[in-house]
Structure 1
């Protein structure tokens, strides 16, 4: 535990769930960032205030929040008491990219049944041996999320969200977020002035190109840490210059150092390992 916060994170052996993240924050403020997965969030105490697609959102009255992949958002406590949240990061096998637009338009869902099922899934994911239950609950949750989003998935006139130069730059950053790219290289590839790229990207997504790339790298780093890889190795694998470079950005985004974050996952695994049976039984 770090002053003002409690964090627990682990990767369960359930297809479709990339990470489970539980946290209690009283002061930490998330800067604008993105994830490569769907963020399914419930808040147990307090409330979170966040911006998504340049609109202020929140988590009042026991809502369920679904934040789509690759769409920048931030987050901060809505009150001085902070908030306690439980998060599931779901892969696109659960919700494909056609649901991103509807989720941006309406990320906060008031659905007591859905919220209860998500809580039950968290309980199942925390217990070793309940993988089948977790998979079953996840299937029901994914279906209900699709039902919430499906009525608004019609594309009018063939319009594709995030068209134009900003979308092209995002595709380029996604392709090169590990090895990196300079703004000049991106400008040459996309035949656009560097300043125009930055303005277009920031206007379209509410985040600067370098912030987007860094948050993609941090997102990968947290997965590798939960796989048990050491922070120094993770830093290189996720595209950071060295471990201190990783630590600086990791703490800025998550409010916790990479090593501490990795230990929360290791502690969870050790608690869930089955005890050896006495000999002769």
Structure 2
């Protein structure tokens, strides 16, 4: 094995995630160590073998690994070419100390939906622009991890809840530009964040973050037609900057904001 390690690590603004790590290790071998956070790990290339609490485990690309806080583990590549991985480090209280034992007993899961949701969240965190989407995706990931740790193969029954969905829509409509966090909405509606996301998606055919983005694009259109410059419209409509506005505007309407009002 040869080559240099490639690592990108950052602390996202997403509450509950203390670090994101993307890494390619052609030859690195982790010595035994611990973390003070839950480690949610997926492998994109290669395969990993590791010891957790003196028991050997393996992680391939189809799996998700959940390593509990304060439990010793190491890590090494199974293949000579090394491995590429992405990791979320979650605050300890996000899953709770009472589930550490279950994670030690079974730290890997073959769960395509869970892996896809983790992949989606990493994509959102790379940009760091879609707060509500990141909060929603993390909530569903944590819920599914808890189901695995609680040894439930079937999640909670999804019952229609139009009143919760409508209440959330009213909150989003009232905070198009300023935005609202998922936790704040859950407190206002008196519903668990995961239930809130599922109820809204079922009732309106899209997740809350996508609805809010659409409303912001609508608001941007009105400001553009009123003659405001695109850079100012981005802030007024709740986007981070003009580039953020341009991306969503083009995705929604097929043209940039400038082209939209060009005569």
1:15 alignment partner in structure 2: 15
Whole-Å separation in 2 of the counterparts to 1:93 and 1:30: 25
1:120 alignment partner in structure 2: 120
Whole-Å separation in 2 of the counterparts to 1:63 and 1:86: 12
Structure 1 gap ranges (5+): 153-272
On the 8 A contact 2:12/2:128 being kept in 1, the answer is no
Deviations 1:55-105 (A, max 9, x none): 110102510000000000000111101000000000123200011000000
Whole-Å separation in 2 of the counterparts to 1:129 and 1:53: 38
Cα 1:119/1:61, change in 2 over 3 Å: closer
Shift of 1:274: 5.1
Scaled by the length of structure 1, what TM-score is found? 0.53
Scaled by the length of structure 2, what TM-score is found? 0.57
Whole-Å separation in 2 of the counterparts to 1:61 and 1:34: 23
Whole-Å separation in 2 of the counterparts to 1:61 and 1:31: 22
Whole-Å separation in 1 of the counterparts to 2:100 and 2:125: 25
Shift of 1:3: 4.0
1:185 alignment partner in structure 2: none
2:140 alignment partner in structure 1: 140
Q: Which has the higher contact order (CA 8 A, sep 6+)?
A: 1
Cα 1:119/1:70, change in 2 over 3 Å: same
Secondary structure, counterpart of 1:93 in structure 2: helix
On the 8 A contact 2:121/2:138 being kept in 1, the answer is yes
Structure 2 gap ranges (5+): 153-239, 244-257, 259-263
Whole-Å separation in 1 of the counterparts to 2:128 and 2:19: 15
On the 8 A contact 2:43/2:61 being kept in 1, the answer is no
2:149 alignment partner in structure 1: 149
Deviations 1:19-43 (A, max 9, x none): 0000000100000000000000000
Deviations 1:109-147 (A, max 9, x none): 110000000000000111132111011000000000000
Whole-Å separation in 2 of the counterparts to 1:65 and 1:90: 13
2:46 alignment partner in structure 1: 46
Taking only aligned residues, the RMSD between alpha carbons, in angstroms, comes to 2.0
Secondary structure, counterpart of 2:60 in structure 1: coil
Cα 1:103/1:110, change in 2 over 3 Å: same
Aligned residues: 156
Whole-Å separation in 2 of the counterparts to 1:19 and 1:4: 22
Whole-Å separation in 1 of the counterparts to 2:80 and 2:3: 15
> Radius of gyration: which is bigger?
2
2:96 alignment partner in structure 1: 96
Whole-Å separation in 2 of the counterparts to 1:107 and 1:151: 12
Which 4+ stretches in 1 moved above 6 angstroms? none
Deviations 1:245-281 (A, max 9, x none): xxxxxxxxxxxxxxxxxxxxxxxxxxxx9579xxxx9
On the 8 A contact 2:34/2:70 being kept in 1, the answer is yes
Shift of 1:151: 3.0
Whole-Å separation in 2 of the counterparts to 1:99 and 1:44: 26
Whole-Å separation in 2 of the counterparts to 1:64 and 1:131: 24
Whole-Å separation in 2 of the counterparts to 1:102 and 1:39: 14
Secondary structure, counterpart of 2:12 in structure 1: coil
On the 8 A contact 2:52/2:72 being kept in 1, the answer is yes
